[in-house]
Amino acid sequence: MRRISWFNATSLTLGFAFLYLPMIILIIYSFNESKLVTVWAGFSTKWYGTLMSNQAFLDAALVTAKVALASSSIATVLGTMAALVLVRAGRFYGRTLFSGMIYAPLVMPEVITGLSLLLLFIGIGLDRGVFTIILAHTTFTMCFVSVVVSSRLVTFDRSLEEAALDLGCSPFDAFRLVTLPIIAPAVISGWLLAFTLSLDDLVIASFTAGPSSTTLPIKIWSAVRLGVSPEINALSTIMIGIVAAAVIAASLMTKRASLRQQADERAAVRA
């Protein structure tokens, strides 16, 4: 092993400190005994207890979960369909326009997306609530799914689908039995991306949410405006924990899959 030089060690430390120090401080203070966020008064888990008995936060968590699950699932279906058409349909009139329009929401300021959706919902007389947040989140997460899935489809061997057709599959069966299982990892990571985007969206949700449908980010934001409480720290720590667990699990799964593939290939060479 090469020894890490003094300069590299410093750069590494500074870089990681910049990224993670705020979060570490937040996590540490979530275990603070004191009600004052900035004064350390000893270790305690009592804020987690009070959090669990705070009905408003629990309601908001439920709304967020519902919205994230529903919108990411719809966005995955629509985004995958859009990716299929854009990658497969070849050159048709207005193709560039369509692909541009799919990817535009990626760079569109969220405030504008939120505002335009709000105007639309008011215009068509749709009462704002969980349903409108789901619609709004589907709209803006769909393009992320589409980007992830189409990058996989570009390298997908068309002859696999043709082989399925050749062996007697209807076009839908060919997609269901061959294409989908093969691109599944990309679809799943698209879904995960949409899910996390929906989970922590504040701007669009606050435009499209109604009085009865507060999501967790909105709740946290409004609570913080009245002053940061250790309860918020505890809640944030839980969210960091969930996201970290998901990321680690996903990377472990990928790692294991690639290791297994390598082992299989070595076995094939020996055979």
Partner 1 sequence: MAQNVFEPWNDPAEKPLIQFKGVTKRFGEFVAIDNQTFDIYEREFFALLGPSGCGKTTMMRMLAGFETPTEGTILLGGQDMAPIPPNKRAINMMFQSYALFPHLSVWENIAFGLRRDNKPKAEIEARVAEMLKLTRLEQFAKRKPHQISGGQRQRVALARCLAKAPKLLLLDEPMGALDAKLRQATQFELMDIQEKTGTTFVIVTHDQEEAMTVASRVAVMDNGRIIQADTPARIYEMPNSVYVADFIGEVTIIPGKVHRRDKGYDVTFAEGQPTLYSEFDAEFDNGQTGYLALRPEKVAISAERPEGRTNAVQGKIIDIAYLGNLSTYHVVLPNGQKIKAQTANTRRLSRRDFTWEDTVWLSWTDTAAVLLKG
Enumerate binding residues for partner 1 (CB under 8 A): 157, 159-160, 162-171, 173, 177-178, 181-182, 261, 264-265, 267-269, 271
Nearer to partner 1 by Cβ, of 56 and 263: the residue is: 263
Closest distance between partner 1 and the C-beta of residue 263, in Å?
A: 9
User: Judged by CB, which is closer to partner 1: 2, or 91?
Assistant: 91
DSSP codes, the chain: -PPPPHHHHHHHHHHHHHHHHHHHHHHHHHTBSSSSTTS---B--HHHHHHHT-HHHHHHHHHHHHHHHHHHHHHHHHHHHHHHHHHHS-S-TTHHHHHHHHHHHHHS-HHHHHHHHHHHHHHTTPPPSHHHHHHHHHHHHHHHHHHHHHHHHHTS-HHHHHHHHHTT--HHHHIIIIIHHHHHHHHHHHHHHHHHHHHT--HHHHHH--TT---HHHHHHHHHHT---HHHHHHHHHHHHHHHHHHHHHHHHHHHHHHHHHHHHHHHHH-
Closest distance between partner 1 and the C-beta of residue 254, in Å? 16
Q: Decide whether 101 or 163 has the Cβ nearer to partner 1.
A: 163
Q: Which CB, 96 or 159, lies closer to partner 1? A: 159
Q: How far is the CB of 156 from partner 1 (least distance, A)?
A: 11
In DSSP notation, 234-252 reads HHHHHHHHHHHHHHHHHHH
Report the residue number, 15 or 171, with the smaller CB distance to partner 1: 171
Q: Measured from the CB atom, is 183 or 203 closer to partner 1?
A: 183
Minimum CB separation of residue 189 from partner 1 in Å reads 17
Instruction: Take residue 15 and report the two structure tokens written for it.
Output: 């870089």
Tell me whether residue 10 or residue 262 sits nearer to partner 1 (CB atom).
262
Q: How far is the CB of 162 from partner 1 (least distance, A)?
A: 6
Least distance between partner 1 and beta carbon 159 (Å): 4
CB of 98 to partner 1, least distance (A): 22
